[in-house]
Amino acid sequence: MYYQMVTSVNPYLEHVRKHRAGCTDSPDYVLLNLGESLRILEALEDARDALRRLGLVPGLQDELATVIRVLHGKLGLEEGGLND
């Protein structure tokens, strides 16, 4: 009963419940473990660095920087390590 009350209030928990139950609806959230998240972040940072070194597509570099900042915030990362 408590679990049902919590998931009805928290859409993220409801999504997790549906995901585990094998529901194939289009997800509102993408669930990644920490390792996957860090690999994606590293790939985005590498792509941005390559574009910057080659001097290509400054607008895309800016967009990648924005996505990287958002991921840093979501993962609790600051330059130099984890946030406390």
Tell me which amino acid residue 10 is: N
Q: 17-31: per-residue pLDDT in tens?
A: 776 766 655 666 778
Q: How much is the pLDDT for 3? A: 44
Torsion-angle region of 31 (φ positive above 0: left; ψ -120 to 50: alpha; else: beta): beta
* Domain extent listing, the chain: 1-29, 32-84
What parts of the chain have a pLDDT lower than 50?
A: 1-7, 82-84
Beta carbons of 47 and 35 less than 8 angstroms apart: no
